[in-house]
Amino acid sequence: MARSVTVIGSTGLIGKQFLESVSEGEFKQVTAISRREIPELMGKSFINQTIHDFSDLEAMRPDLKTDILVCALGTTIKTAGSQEAFMRVDHDLPLEIARIAHEAGCQTFILISSVGADAQSSIFYSRVKGQVEAALDELGFNQFHILRPSMLLGERQESRPGEFVGKLILTPLSFLIPWKYKPIHANTVSDKIKRLASWTQPGKYIWEGKSLFHLN
């Protein structure tokens, strides 16, 4: 039976790709939470766009009454301005929003995390990603899917020179790179999210390397 889905991080590379690819009737209801309207979704009147400034997360509660919550929220330390600000976006917001959704009856949480996520890592970014995975696991969703992509490929508005150079070098050499570290297109991640939205078995699943590229 079709289920309802809510997306946070809807304006980002993964969130927008997923929402743009959703067809009418594929889900019982589709809600996109963001800080601003998404013009690319204007033609899709079946998607309920809701605007929040993320300072009052309780105000999101009605939009978090959903079967599936997809979290594609994230920033960079450079954009956020400090490690604390990064932690707020990549750890605190997903955790607080997930807690409200779980209370509201959400069964399935799909998190876009990152390759290398490890709560014990000496690298700050990887440690935060690992910590948020662990904290979310404690909430006890019926299904908890963690996707750990390496570098994401696709069209993004924000210019990230480091990423651009990385893509130029890595994409042609991709066949030499172990699956876990291969750059992956936003389309592929979006297709995987759709596949997981119809997953029936309960449990915690980590999708990385080859398993992230393949739909089964």
CA-angle at 133, arms to 171 and 216, nearest 5°: 55
Is 205 catalytic? The answer is no
156 in contact with ligand NAP (CB under 6 A):
yes
Q: Which of 69, 87, 149, 207 binds ligand NAP (CB under 6 A)?
A: 149
Asked whether position 112 contacts ligand NAP by CB under 6 A, the answer is yes
3-class secondary-structure state, position 152: strand
> What is the rounded (10 degree) CA torsion for 7, 11, 14, 17?
90
Residue 130 near ligand NAP by CB under 6 A: no
Among 5, 14, 32, 106, binds ligand NAP (CB under 6 A): 14
Residue pair 8/35 in contact (Cβ under 8 Å)? The answer is: no
Binding mask 37-76 for ligand NAP (x = CB under 6 A): -----------------x-----------------xxxx-
User: Three-state DSSP class for 4?
Assistant: strand
**Secondary structure in 3-state letters for 50-73:** EECCCCCHHHHHHHHCCCEEEECC
Task: Clarify whether 129 is annotated catalytic.
Answer: yes
Q: Which is closer to ligand NAP, CB of 10 or CB of 131?
A: 10
Q: Which residues form the interface with ligand NAP (CB under 6 A)? A: 9-15, 34-36, 54, 72-75, 89-90, 112, 114, 149, 151-152, 156
